[in-house]
Amino acid sequence: MAVIGIEPPSPLYEHEHALFRESFRAFLTQEVVPHAAAWERDGIVPRELFLKAGEHGFLGMAVPEELGGAGAADFRFNAVISEEATYAGVASATMGLTLQNDVCLPYFLEHADDEQRRRWLPGIASGELVTAIAMTEPGAGSDLQGMQARAVHDGDSYILNGSKTFITNGIHADLVIVVAKTNPAAGARGLSLLVVERGMDGFQRGRNLEKIGQHAQDTAELFFNDVRVPAANLLGQEGMGFVYLVSHLAQERMSIAVGGLAAAEAAIAWTVDHVRARNAFGRPIGSFQHPRFVLAECRTEVAVTRAFVEQCLRRLVAGTLSGEEAAMAKWWCSELQGRVIDRCLQLFGGYGYMLEYPIARAYADARVTRIYGGANEIMKEIIGRSMGLGDR
């Protein structure tokens, strides 16, 4: 594959990240790439993938060593996983691992009490426990405060009722962080996080939803009918759910940004290879000015974006990344991903429309990144409001 993007190694990454990258690449080659097409057809990866990833140290890197992790709270390791899976054209197969590491784990690491940490973190790191986070409901996505899920105190438990949709890892999840209203009158201060476990009475999964892309990733509806959730499964403090969500959404958005940028880098590399090899009118397509200019423009946009993303990643690792910077990265990278992949796909001609080509799958996989993790319009609201430009 043509060399674009992070090679030769970017200054963001150090020796230990390079070793981790090498070993994750080998894992992908052995355990994921040969099966990815079958998993895309199945609409789900096997559970064993989580166990294998855990066994090889690709889950819960940030979990302390004494609880089964690597004690490596450094998001650059997470970024390496996203980049490598994307370059290998199998990001949809590893999306569940990424969700566990990048999105769900921080809630357990920061808000679980000692007993919960002992109960859950070892399984999250080993892959015995698959996690999901359920915010979105059929009637409320962008407007989280409009959610209906309700948890009412009953002795030393909560009784949870409601339904969630579009939940990544929804079919596989053993632990679902459910966002529910514990005090509907308190607005943003009335949301709490409850961990619902596989097998609790009244917890049911709906369909594994059929999507345009990301076919190997399970995305499901979840239903909660009078589920008795022990108070011992409350994550953090009651009423603090919204505050926790806001604090962790920045990392979720960086995860989407890193994946989007890597997808654009991969698309350029695949396309450079293609236009060099494919002939039309007696010469390689890449020798015509138009394809050359398209790829030159894409490469420049990607290189400029990488500089900003790496700056954001450094701040994320240092704990100084702001919510609006993460929103900028998520908005920009997901738009870039769509734009670059679309332009590259055109240069593949009819082959670009065939799902056996990674560029076609990348095209279908990309569309959702402008929607999930907060729609890009919401990202612009966050950025605009940070400039003092609110309604009130």
Ligand X SMILES: Cc1cc2nc3c(=O)[nH]c(=O)nc-3n(C[C@H](O)[C@H](O)[C@H](O)COP(=O)(O)OP(=O)(O)OC[C@H]3O[C@@H](n4cnc5c(N)ncnc54)[C@H](O)[C@@H]3O)c2cc1C
Within 234-273, which residues bind ligand X (CB under 6 A)? none
Q: Are 312 and 325 in contact (CB under 8 A)?
A: yes
Nearest-approach distance from CB 55 to ligand X, in angstroms = 25
Which tokens belong to 108?
């357990």
Number of residues that bind ligand X (CB under 6 A): 21
Per the DSSP assignment, residues forming a β-bridge with 314 are none
Residue whose CB is less far from ligand X, 218 or 325: 218
167 binds ligand X (CB under 6 A): yes
Q: Find the catalytic residue in 137, 221, 252, 265.
A: 252
Nearest-approach distance from CB 166 to ligand X, in angstroms = 4
Contact with ligand X (CB under 6 A) among 20, 39, 75, 166: 166
Which tokens belong to 312?
């954001």
User: Strands, DSSP E only, in the chain?
Assistant: 131-134, 150-154, 157-168, 175-181, 191-197, 203-208, 219-230, 234-235, 279-280, 283-284
381 binds ligand X (CB under 6 A): yes
- Angle in degrees, CA 110, 48, 82, rounded to 5: 55
Within 8 A by CB and 6+ apart from 182, the residues are: 151, 152, 153, 158, 190, 191, 192, 238, 239
Distance CA 251, CA 253 (A): 5
377 binds ligand X (CB under 6 A): yes
352: which DSSP letter? G
385 binds ligand X (CB under 6 A): no
Nearest-approach distance from CB 340 to ligand X, in angstroms = 20
366 binds ligand X (CB under 6 A): no
Which tokens belong to 111?
């808000």
Long-range CB pairs of 290-295 (<8 Å, 24+ gap) are: 291/347, 294/343, 294/344, 294/346, 294/347, 295/268, 295/271, 295/344, 295/347
What residue has token string 């010469």?
A: 283
DSSP structure string for 191-256: EEEEEEETT-TTEEEEEE---SS-TTS-EEEEEEEEEEEEGGGEESSTT-HHHHHHHHHHHHHHHH
Contact with ligand X (CB under 6 A) among 30, 142, 237, 300: 142
Sole window of 185-193, 281-289, 305-313, 366-374 interacting with ligand X (rule: CB under 6 A): 366-374
Q: Are 117 and 62 in contact (CB under 8 A)?
A: no
**Nearest 5°: phi and psi at 145?**
-70, -10
- Measuring CA to CA, how many Å separate 192 from each of 61, 104, 278, 298? 26, 15, 56, 43
Residue whose CB is less far from ligand X, 31 or 381: 381
Contact with ligand X (CB under 6 A) among 135, 250, 266, 309: 135
368 binds ligand X (CB under 6 A): yes
Residue whose CB is less far from ligand X, 351 or 372: 372
Nearest-approach distance from CB 217 to ligand X, in angstroms = 7
Q: Is 221 in the active site?
A: no
Contact with ligand X (CB under 6 A) among 4, 88, 125, 133: 133
94 binds ligand X (CB under 6 A): no
375 binds ligand X (CB under 6 A): yes
Sole window of 10-18, 21-29, 356-364, 377-385 interacting with ligand X (rule: CB under 6 A): 377-385
Nearest-approach distance from CB 39 to ligand X, in angstroms = 16
In one-letter notation, the amino acid at residue 66 is: E
157: which DSSP letter? E
Contact with ligand X (CB under 6 A) among 168, 233, 305, 337: 168
364 binds ligand X (CB under 6 A): no
141 binds ligand X (CB under 6 A): yes
351 binds ligand X (CB under 6 A): no
Nearest by Cα to 268 from 291, 295, 304: 295
136 binds ligand X (CB under 6 A): yes
Contact with ligand X (CB under 6 A) among 134, 234, 263, 269: 134
**Nearest 5°: phi and psi at 375?**
-60, 155
Residue whose CB is less far from ligand X, 32 or 378: 378
Contact with ligand X (CB under 6 A) among 117, 150, 189, 211: 211
Residue whose CB is less far from ligand X, 170 or 358: 170
In the bound complex, which residue of the shown chain has the CB atom lying closest to ligand X? 141
Which residues are at the interface with ligand X (CB under 6 A)?
A: 132-136, 141-142, 166-168, 211, 214, 219, 368, 371-372, 374-375, 377-378, 381
- Active site members: 252
